[in-house]
Amino acid sequence: MFNKLTALNDKWTEESVQRQIMDKDNRYFGGIRDPYTGVAWPSHTGTALILAVWTGSLLGPSSGYYRSLELLARLEEGMDFMLRFQHEDGTISPGWTNYHSPPDTAFVVVGLANVLTLINRDEWEKLDALKEKVGLFLQRTVPAMLTGGVHTPNHRWVLTAALGSLYRIFGLQELKTRADEWLREGMDITPDGEWTERSNGIYNTVSDIMLYYAAQDLERPELLEPVRRNLRMMKYLVHPDGEVVTDYSGRQDFGSIHTLEDYYLTYKLMAEHDQDPEFAAMAELAGAGVTNPGSLPNNSMLGFLLYPQMHANSVTPGKLPVTYRKVINQTFNRQELLSAIEKTGHGGRIFHSKLHKEFGAPVARIRREKTSATVMTETSSFFSLRHGKVRLLGVQLASSFEPGLITMTSIEETEDSYKLEAVMEKGYYGPVPEEKLPPSADGPSSPWYLLPHQDRPFTHAQRSRVHASVTETDEGWKLRLVSGEPSDVLTQVVLLFGSEGSLEGELHSAPGLRETSFWTGGKLRYSAGEDWMELDHGVHDHIQAGIRGMAYPDGCLKVIINLITPLDYTLTIRLS
């Protein structure tokens, strides 16, 4: 694995050197151009990320760039760029958002602290200037790390790790005290190992590695316990081809392709730390999917150079499950916790973030060798299925009742199926009682936004229920949907297929929607390579294409089944 990473790191170095801005008249001189915007940013996904990659090549004895004077000069220019683009308050701005951002600065701090530790261990005298520049950048961040805040749940652990990294380097007690303030908020993880953001593709890996660093630098070994929980959970959240399940993520990895590669460093370190065969097996699986040196905090090349145990293979990998049924968060006391929201006093309002009330929602995972299925609640799709190369990315429901997406809120596992339910309620609102009216109501203009809408009496309440059952059969799967009152509700089942496959059946273009077809009857066949799934049966009870309030995702083939309540519809799926 070390040889593989060395080659990847050198390849990244060779490519990224071409993107360094060497025109001294350019204000971004020394920075590395971002391939997406063409601008150099001082962020953990921009110049700082590449500087860590270059450090791995410069100080890795097996690298083709080992102790290259040219690369060293480029690193120094890169650090000069970082220092110029560091604000007076010690923060950086990543460019796309979050200006003067403590959490984005913290990502950089953790990565550059590892770079500085590696430089300090090396005896090459030509590193002195680079060492001074990296040290100065880190020193300047201390005030921001001591006072800065966050947006998202995982940002707290990024700041905690950054505080720990700075404490390791500078030894200031106030850094440890500030880290303790964040840690007193407690860990936002379920007993089964799911973090708040349910982000298997990105933010799990962030929380895991940050808490590993924090446990090490703050001498808090108990911080490894939530890391263990998440790493154990992830063995159930990988498709047969190594792709991670992102079908229900609460962040930007939702529905996009990610592998376990950014988990590699944490799995390997924890396998050696705990002498755990399961972690060793997951490290092996993650390593097989590695295509780059890793994100800045998860840079595996730096990991190999920093941690001697990364070179050890003292744990024999165990066997990972390939056939299972598992409900994650089945016994989590989610409803009890949700009922306590009112007592918090924030009134459901949170700034520049969200409450993530879907935290801890149950998710069922079923694996049968090369077949992988997910049954989900509190997300835009309630079912997804992979079988070899064919991918049913999601099954969505929409209706004109709310109107828009229908989200399943509960799941019950039976012997051979999963039962889900969505309950929607809406009604109307009467006049504000006279004693509750504001003075503006008697003025020359009475703005709608000044009226106390919370005091309006609720009238003519209507409730819509949708029941779904998902059943595994000998040939594949069966999905049944039932909805009674109110009648005459326009309803859609939206099937999302991977764009790499092809569809055959009674399909007709849906007006106004890209890559979208009505399935009007009979069977539907979706195939990719030698693998296929056959679905039965298409229905076209109404002709409306887009349900108001419904967002139809791009980048996939969409097939719409149009239904109308009362309905009792069954979709069968037969697999090759």
What's the predicted TM-score (pTM) here?
0.94
State the pLDDT at residue 347.
78
CATH number at residue 83: 1.50.10.100
- Residue 452 within any structural domain of the chain: no
The pLDDT tens digits for 502-557 are 999 999 999 989 999 999 999 999 999 999 999 999 999 999 999 999 989 888 99
Q: Report the pLDDT averaged over residues 190-194.
A: 96
pLDDT at 8 over 90: yes
Phi, psi of 354 (to 5 degrees): -150, 165
Indicate whether 469 and 539 sit together in one domain.
Answer: yes
Phi-psi region of 375 (alpha: psi -120 to 50; beta: other; left: phi over 0): beta
Confidence of residue 255 (pLDDT cuts 50, 70, 90): low
Give the integer Cα–Cα distance in Å for 119 and 79. 14
Radius of gyration over every alpha carbon of the chain, rounded to an integer in angstroms: 27
- Residue 527 within any structural domain of the chain: yes
Strand pairing report for 516-528 and 556-564:
parallel
- Among 323, 346, 362, where does a domain finish? 323
Indicate whether 405 and 284 sit together in one domain.
Answer: no
State the pLDDT at residue 508.
95
Cα 352 to chain center, whole Å? 17
Task: State the total domains in the chain.
Answer: 2
Question: pLDDT above 90 covers what percent of the chain?
Answer: 88
| Residue range of the domain that includes 284 | 2-323
Query: Any residues with CB less than 8 A from the CB of 543 and at least 6 apart, and which?
Result: 518, 562
Torsion, CA 62, CA 64, CA 65, CA 67, rounded to 10: 50
Range scoring the smallest mean pLDDT among 125-139, 239-253, 284-298, 368-382: 239-253
pLDDT at 59 over 90: yes
Give the integer Cα–Cα distance in Å for 168 and 161. 10
- Residue 440 within any structural domain of the chain: no
State the pLDDT at residue 351.
81
> Across the chain, what does the average pLDDT equal?
94
Strand pairing report for 390-399 and 490-498:
antiparallel
Residue 74 and residue 137 in contact, taking contact as beta carbons nearer than 8 Å? no
The pLDDT tens digits for 68-109 are 999 999 999 999 999 999 999 999 999 878 899 999 999 999
The pLDDT tens digits for 325-356 are 999 999 999 888 888 888 888 877 788 888 88
Give the integer Cα–Cα distance in Å for 358 and 40. 36
State the pLDDT at residue 252.
63
- Residue 128 within any structural domain of the chain: yes
State the pLDDT at residue 388.
93
Sign, Cα dihedral of 303, 306, 312, 318: negative
Tokens standing for 255?
């529905």
Continuous segment of H or E residues that includes residue 106: helix 102-121
- Residue 135 within any structural domain of the chain: yes
Indicate whether 307 and 374 sit together in one domain.
Answer: no
User: What separation in angstroms does the CA of 420 have from each of 325, 336, 409, 479, 518?
Assistant: 16, 19, 7, 11, 25
- Residue 61 within any structural domain of the chain: yes
Residue 76 and residue 319 in contact, taking contact as beta carbons nearer than 8 Å? no
The pLDDT tens digits for 348-398 are 778 888 888 888 899 999 999 899 999 999 999 999 999 999 999 999 999
- Residue 531 within any structural domain of the chain: yes
State the pLDDT at residue 344.
86
Give the integer Cα–Cα distance in Å for 240 and 389. 10
Indicate whether 147 and 255 sit together in one domain.
Answer: yes
Cα–Cα–Cα angle for 265, 269, 275, rounded to 5 degrees: 140
- Residue 357 within any structural domain of the chain: no
